[in-house]
Amino acid sequence: MRVVETLPEMREASAALRAAGQRLGFVPTMGFLHAGHVHLAAVARKHAAAVAMSIFVNPLQFGPGEDFARYPRDAARDRALAASAGVDVLWMPSPEAMYPEEPRVTVDPGPMARGFEGAVRPGHFAGVLTVVLKLFAVVLPDVAVFGRKDVQQAVLVRRMAADLDLPVEVVVAPTVRESDGLALSSRNVYLDPVARRRAVALSRSLQAAVELFRSGERDGAALAAAARAVLDAEPGLATDYAACIDPATFAPAARASDACVVAVAARLGATRLIDNVVLGEGLEGDGRLAG
C-alpha cells in the first residue's frame, strides 16, 4: 500500500493507476477505521481494480460546539487496517494542505440538507459536500463508495454528482453492525459501558418500525412514532429525531414505501449517535459482525 500526504502526490498516484488502465474506486473517511470502513473498501474493490482511501477529519463540517478537537485519531492503526483492507493508495492530507486558506467558495447543499442532520448541525452538509468535491477533484475516481449509515450524506453526495455532472459513480453500501445491532461508528469509543448498552436502543427502534411496516402500516408518522417510542423509553437517552423519510427528496414521507428510510438520532450524554434502516430491506440487509 502506498501512503501519500500532499495533493500533488495523490494526483500523481491516481494518474499512475488510471494510466495503467485501472478503474479507480475511492472511499473517503475521517479515519479511526472500523469494519464498516473495511467493508466500503471491499465494495469499492468489486467496482474497480484499484482502491484509494482518504483519511481526513474535515474541520469544515464540524460546528463550534462539536467534537472536532477530540474526534478519535490513530494514524498508525489506520495504516495497518487500510493495508489489510486491500487499499492500494492511502491519502492522509493535513488540514493545511486541504485548506491553505479559509475557502470563500463552498458547495450549497440545497433543500435536502435542511432537515434532520442538517437542522441539528447547521453548516454540516456544506462542509461535507465541499470536502467531498475537493477530494473528488484530486483523486478523480471512477466510483466512490459511501456508507448508508450516514444516509443523508450519501443521498446528498449522489445528488451533487448528478446535479453537477461529476464523472463519478456514487455507490451506497449497507451499514455494518455489531452483533447486538449497534451500527459501527468511530464515535462509539466515546460510550462508557452503560451508555454502550443503552445505545442498542437505536437499532431496536428501527426494528420496531420495520415490524410495524411488515404488519401493513404505511402511515409515515405512525412508523416514526413506533421508533420514537423505543428511544423515549430508554433511560439516559435523549431523542433528537425519529422520522420516516422519502430518500428522493429527504423530506418526511406521508405514506411509506419499501424505499423509504426510517432514520433516528439520539444523544447519550455528550455522544450523538445516528442510525437508519430501509423499510423494504430491514436490518437483515445490513452487515453484522459475529458475536
Catalytic residue, candidates 37, 39, 47, 124: 37
- Output 146 or 213, the one with its CB closest to ligand AMP: 146
Q: Does 121 engage in binding with ligand AMP (CB under 6 A)?
A: no
What is the pairing mode between strands 287-288 and 271-278? unpaired
Q: How far is the CB of 151 from ligand AMP (least distance, A)?
A: 8
Phi and psi of 157, rounded to 5°? Answer: -65, -45
- Output 35 or 195, the one with its CB closest to ligand AMP: 35
d(CA 4, CA 11): 10
d(CA 273, CA 226): 18
Q: Which three cell numbers stand for residue 156?
A: 446528498
Q: Does 191 engage in binding with ligand AMP (CB under 6 A)?
A: no
Q: Count of alpha carbons within 13 Å of 196, Cβ hemisphere only?
A: 12
* Span of 18-26, 36-44, 189-197, 201-209 interacting with ligand AMP by CB under 6 A: 36-44
**121-124 contacts at long range (C-beta below 8 A, 24 or more positions apart):** 121/63, 121/66, 122/63, 123/61, 123/63, 124/61, 124/62, 124/63
Catalytic residue check, 124: no
Q: Does 40 engage in binding with ligand AMP (CB under 6 A)?
A: yes
- Output 3 or 225, the one with its CB closest to ligand AMP: 3
Out of 17, 37, 198, 220, which residue is the one contacting ligand AMP (CB under 6 A)? 37
Ranges within 126-185 binding ligand AMP (CB under 6 A): 146-147, 149-150, 173, 175-176, 183-185
Give 216-233 as a DSSP string: T--BHHHHHHHHHHHHHT
Residue with cell 470502513: 37
Q: How far is the CB of 258 from ligand AMP (least distance, A)?
A: 21
H or E segment at 258? Answer: none
Q: How far is the CB of 218 from ligand AMP (least distance, A)?
A: 28
* Residues lying near ligand AMP in the complex (CB under 6 A): 29-30, 36-37, 39-40, 146-147, 149-150, 173, 175-176, 183-186
Catalytic residues: 37
